[in-house]
Structures are given as C-alpha cells and as structure tokens.
Amino acid sequence: MPSRQPQPSPRAAEPSANPSPNPSPLPYLAQIFAEKQLKELKNGRLAMIAVLGEMMAQQVSGYGTYEQLGLIVKSLPLPL
C-alpha cells in the first residue's frame, strides 16, 4: 500500500478575493482609504524630517541625544 501525500487545498491556490493593499478585513470606502494612506505618508515624511533635525543637532553641538537632554534638564531651575 503506497503512502499518500497530503494534497493542498484547492482554495489555497486561489488568489485573494480582495487584492487591495488594505490589510484590514473591514471594508473601507476608497476615499477613506486614500485619506488614511495620505495621512500615513505625511506622518512618515514628518518623522524623517525629525530624525534629520536630530542628527543635525548632534553634529552641531557635538553631543549625543541623551547628553543634550541631560544638559537641558540640568539647566532647568527645578529641584531634582
């Protein structure tokens, strides 16, 4: 008696019914999805500008991020 190999499900080879880039199973209107996509893109751009600003501050001051933060905290007139 030959051993039987498990056969893949016929559904496994079928392409997805929803090939959109929306990872959520909830149905979005195309306009809402486009707005969310644009907001995410703008947030990513803002984050890249923030990282660039931090790197420039490190180059100009000669101190790392946490060293700069320590200097700022020490200069505050708060009792710590």
Average pLDDT over residues 66-77: 91
Answer yes or no: are the C-beta atoms of 61 and 68 closer than 8 Å. Answer: yes
Q: Which token pair is 36?
A: 């969310």
Using a 10 angstrom Cβ sphere, with 0-12 exposed, 13-18 middle and 19 or more buried, the burial of residue 58 is middle
Instruction: Report pLDDT digits (tens) over 14-68.
Output: 555 556 666 666 666 778 888 989 999 999 999 999 999 999 999 999 999 999 9
pLDDT for 8 equals 59
For helices 30-61 and 65-75, the axis angle rounded to 10 degrees is 80
pLDDT for 16 equals 57
Task: Give the domain ranges of the chain.
Answer: 28-80
**What pTM was estimated for this model as a whole?**
0.52
